Amino acid sequence: MTGRAGAEHRLAWLLCAPAVLAMLVVTAYPIGYSLWLSLFRYDLRFPGERRFIGLDNYLSVLGAPAWWEALFNTLLITVCSVAVELVLGFLFALLMHRALLGRRVIRTSLLVPYGIITVVAAMSWRFAFDPTIGFVNALTGLEGAWLADRWSAFFVIFNTEIWKTTPFMALLLLAGLTQVPGDLLRAARVDGANAWQRFFHVTLPLLRPVIMVALLFRTLDAFRIFDTVFVQTRGAQGTETVSILGYNTLITRLNLGLGSAVSVLIFLCVLAIAVLYIRGFGIDLSSRARS
Amino acid sequence: MVSGANGGQRERLFRGLGSVLVVLYALFPVAWIVSLSLKRSADLDDRRFVPQVFSMEHYQSVFNDPQFSAALWNSVGIAGIATVAAVLLGMFAAYAIVRLEFPGRRLILVAALAIAMFPPVSIIGPLFNMWRTLGLYDTWPGLILPYMTFTLPLAIWTLSAFFREIPWDLDKAARVDGATPLQAFVHVILPLAVPGVFTAAILVFMFAWNDFLFVISLTSTNNARTVPAAIAFFTGSSQFQQPTGSIAAASVVVTVPVILVVLLFQRRIVAGLTAGAVKG
């Protein structure tokens, strides 16, 4: 028996090895390398001046208003867009859940924003709000250049994010809704609960695990926001996010030391968000890992 | 639903109206970019939603632009190879996770989940540096590798969820009949697993087709630059002409396959998206 079990272990590891190896080489090793680089003064434009400086890069980043502004912007975008997406996603999901004939049509149309390239979505909305090309100003009678002012630029960015990602939320919630037992809702109705009470006291509690998983994934995804901001403002007008800051420091300014410190800080933020959700809101991810 | 059938006239009207609004909301920006792409250059500034005169000039200029053709070819090739690679590796791992008893099984699923949450911006610096040293900067493999890795978690989770639904007794029967585990996999399980594999492939392809951060960080020329980067950095035929029309036409060209896939495979996509999140 031990021989067979040993053979099974070997086969299992053989089958998993390529995937595990790829994940280690392309994510684990680089994040370690990032950590290492972040301890050096290392600017690719002046490679000769590379030297160990300990935590100085972190002190520079944390001492710079640019980092805090980018973090604030990112959190603002994350909180606002995820909150709106949850409400809107619920509305869409309820609509699809109750619609018999229209469900297929709605689902297909919602998959279009989900599937479309983010850069394309960002371009489309950028042109829509453009003062010389777009129809938004013509339609609303407004005159402003939306992307030239901080808060209206944020509005365009929110709008794009919400349009692009609400479908994901709606489809996850719909999948959860279909698993709520109809008997339970009928029983509640017999007991005299109205539609609101049924929703808040029966449906919502049963959906809690699905909502939390959807929120976790969307929050982490929103925190990484890059494409939309890059296409619409490139981070100008005070709309820089942490991913844009990281990209600019690393790839545009080629400052690998400072940029790596930004990278590591972003990584820690994401880790903190994940831990907050999993510990704080009690998402049971381990049950999802059970086979 | 019972409640839907006996709901009042007003509720039904409200719901119908809501459905129409949702569909309009979802398709509106797509219609807008299609409309822009069909306007004549002279009409681009007319701020109308619908073109006054339909014109194919932007499509002609986009397809005559070597930069765009190269990007389209790169996108198709890189996303295609990354998809095949991720699904293949994901399939092996998912099979082992679902079918075989071995230590470290849960660890792989948790690690995959961790990578799914990982911020790509945290590794573009090191990859940029590593790829330049290894000669992978601005090459196809230089993008295929990160795409494959970042979609492996998706592939492993989706495939595991689908593999769990397969009646494994058939596999046991084949093994009792003397098939090796590998033979049982290829001849018995693989045909049953095709729907799941297909779903995973669609989701992986969409990720690779959509990526922007890796491609603008790890490429610099037409060698490996994909469509999203080409659209963002379009320079138009002359330096003084704003390439709005070309951007719109290029956007439509790369959105058409997405819409086709969505129309043909919507049920698979939804099943794949929700497989990991809803089932416990």
Per domain, the residue ranges of chain A are: 27-63+255-291, 77-250
Question: In the predicted model, is pLDDT for residue B3 greater than 50?
Answer: no
What phi, psi does A40 have (nearest 5°)? -115, 150
Q: How many CB pairs under 8 A join A and B?
A: 314
Question: If you average pLDDT over every residue of chain A, what do you get?
Answer: 87
A246 pLDDT tier (thresholds 50, 70, 90): very high
Note whether A124 contacts B251, CB cutoff 8 Å.
Answer: yes
- What pLDDT, on the 0 to 100 scale, is given for residue B185? 73
Q: Which of residues 168-197 of A touch B (CB under 8 A)?
A: 168, 171-172, 175-176, 179, 182, 186, 189
Pairing outcome for strands A40-41 and A51-52: antiparallel
Note whether B2 contacts A182, CB cutoff 8 Å.
Answer: yes
Q: Which of residues 230-269 of B touch A (CB under 8 A)?
A: 231-232, 244, 247-248, 251, 254-255, 258-259, 261-263, 266, 269
B203-219 pLDDT per residue, tens:
899 889 999 999 999 99
DSSP-assigned beta bridge partners for residue A196: none
Domains within chain B, CATH numbers bracketed: 2-46 (no CATH), 57-278 (1.10.3720.10)
- What pLDDT, on the 0 to 100 scale, is given for residue A181? 85
Token pair 């295609």: residue: B80
Question: Would you tell me how many other CB atoms lie within 10 Å of the CB of residue B94?
Answer: 32
How far is A204 from B91, CA to CA, in rounded Å? 35
**Cβ distance B52 to B68 under 8 Å?**
no
Question: Would you tell me how many other CB atoms lie within 10 Å of the CB of residue A100?
Answer: 10
ipTM of predicted assembly, 2 dp: 0.88
How far is A246 from A233, CA to CA, in rounded Å? 16
Note whether A31 contacts B113, CB cutoff 8 Å.
Answer: no
CA torsion angle B181 B186 B188 B191 (round to 10): 150
pTM: 0.88
Question: In the predicted model, is pLDDT for residue B111 greater than 90?
Answer: no
How far is A84 from A90, CA to CA, in rounded Å? 10
Q: What is the mean pLDDT of residues B191-211?
A: 88
- What pLDDT, on the 0 to 100 scale, is given for residue A84? 96
Question: Would you tell me how many other CB atoms lie within 10 Å of the CB of residue B83?
Answer: 25
Closest CA to A111 of A21, A22, A172: A172
Both tokens assigned to A94: 């309820």
Q: Identify the CATH assignment for A77-250 out of 2.160.20.60, 1.10.10.10, 1.10.3720.10, 1.10.274.10.
A: 1.10.3720.10
Question: In the predicted model, is pLDDT for residue B107 greater than 60?
Answer: yes
